[in-house]
Amino acid sequence: MLLLGCTSQKPISSTQSSTEFMQTQGYHEALRSYFKGDYSAAIESCNNVLKINPNHDATLYLASKIYFDQENWNESSIYLLKASQADPKNEFITNEIGFMYSALGNYMKAAETYERLIKEHPYAAAHYFAAFENWLKAKDYKSAVKVLEWQKKVLGPSIELILNESRVYRLTSRPEESAKSLEEGIRLFPAEPRILAPLIDLYLENKESEKAMELLRQLCSADTSNGYARYLFGNYLITQGKQEDGEKMLRESVQLKGLSIDQKAEVVLKMNKAHGCTPENEQLTFSFEEQHPEAFVAHTLCGDLKILCDQPFAALTFYQKALAQDPNAFPVWQSQRSIARCVPSEI
């Protein structure tokens, strides 16, 4: 009898075939028990296989997985290392060992494991990133930079690599090198939002506002869904006397992601104070309330705008919504009473 899948041309003895069949059968029994959640039966089947062949890598890995699921980290680690010894060229198992070391806080050992994978699989970008992250956690920044240099030499520049370069330079208090890395990134990947955003932050930290604002303009064009970029650039344009363009950016920012509720409320209040009851302000204010129906400030802003529009009854509706959110809001009670005193017969 021959073992299915065997590539050897040599005849297999009946004893060999029977032994291998028992290993395969025992492994599948363990696997079935594992998927059923019967960990005791699964471990028992694993042990039966390992009595026949202590180097059965699939069974060793399965035993590690069973112990891992039971949060028995020590036993899980032992069997995982045994699986790697049984099949040292297995990329998946070696990767799991790197993850194990990292989860246990042994970041240096994890990084070294991923570097071994890099040597064996130099075109797998994930191994470079894993090694880099673990060197960072180990606070061995020199080794982290070496991994990036290694990656650049083999795989060439990428957006992720540039961001990691900038990151490690900032961690080591080298802002100029961080900026140079990002600037080179913009040259290689023009108008890339993931590079523009941290470079803008860096320029703002260094008080290079003109450079930052030029990049903000590019970011607003490159990432039309970035509300925070429009918020920053709109405020900047207003300080430069470009009121109409700045307000347009601010209005757009409220409709997009990236701003907090308070920042959105600030924009809505600014527009309502500046221009009063206009169709544009009504659209802006009510859309803000639609986005955040549970926000107290959204209802009060709608109520205040209705007062500006000389619609006190409509204002009452929004103030009542606000009081449902915060019954102790004295200024809102005061506004409601003022409306009631002005038109008592209609309330």
Kindly state whether residue 267 falls inside one of the protein's structural domains: no
pLDDT band at 346 (very low <50, low <70, confident <90, very high): very low
Instruction: Please work out, in degrees rounded to the nearest 5, the angle formed at the alpha carbon of residue 122 by the alpha carbons of 121 and 124.
Output: 75
Q: Which of the listed residues 44, 65, 88 is the one where a domain comes to its end?
A: 88
Q: Which of the listed residues 46, 66, 88 is the one where a domain comes to its end?
A: 88
* Residue matched to tokens 């471990």: 43
DSSP assigned state of 252: H
Alpha-helical runs (H) found in the chain? 14-36, 39-52, 57-69, 73-86, 91-103, 107-120, 125-137, 141-155, 159-171, 175-188, 193-205, 209-222, 227-239, 243-254, 261-275, 279-291, 296-308, 312-325, 330-342
Kindly state whether residue 235 falls inside one of the protein's structural domains: no
Helices 227-239/193-205 angle, 10° precision: 40
Rounded to whole angstroms, how far apart are CA atoms 328 and 331? 9
DSSP assigned state of 343: S
pLDDT band at 341 (very low <50, low <70, confident <90, very high): low
Rounded to whole angstroms, how far apart are CA atoms 172 and 36? 50
Three-state DSSP class for residue 226: strand
Kindly state whether residue 344 falls inside one of the protein's structural domains: yes
Residue 336: what pLDDT?
72
Residue 347: what pLDDT?
41
Three-state DSSP class for residue 257: strand
Least confident of 5-19, 238-252, 253-267, 288-302: 5-19
* HSE, side-chain direction, 13 A CA sphere, residue 325: 14
Residue 46 belongs to what domain range?
A: 18-88
pLDDT digits (tens, 9 = 90+) for 256-270: 988 999 999 999 999
Residue 188: what pLDDT?
95
pTM higher than 0.75 for the full model? no
Domain count, the chain: 2
Q: Which of the listed residues 88, 107, 136 is the one where a domain comes to its end?
A: 88
Which CATH number characterizes residue 31's domain?
1.25.40.10
pLDDT digits (tens, 9 = 90+) for 10-26: 444 445 578 888 899 99
Kindly state whether residue 199 falls inside one of the protein's structural domains: no
- In the predicted model, what is the mean pLDDT of residues 56-70? 94
Kindly state whether residue 162 falls inside one of the protein's structural domains: no
Residue 343: what pLDDT?
56
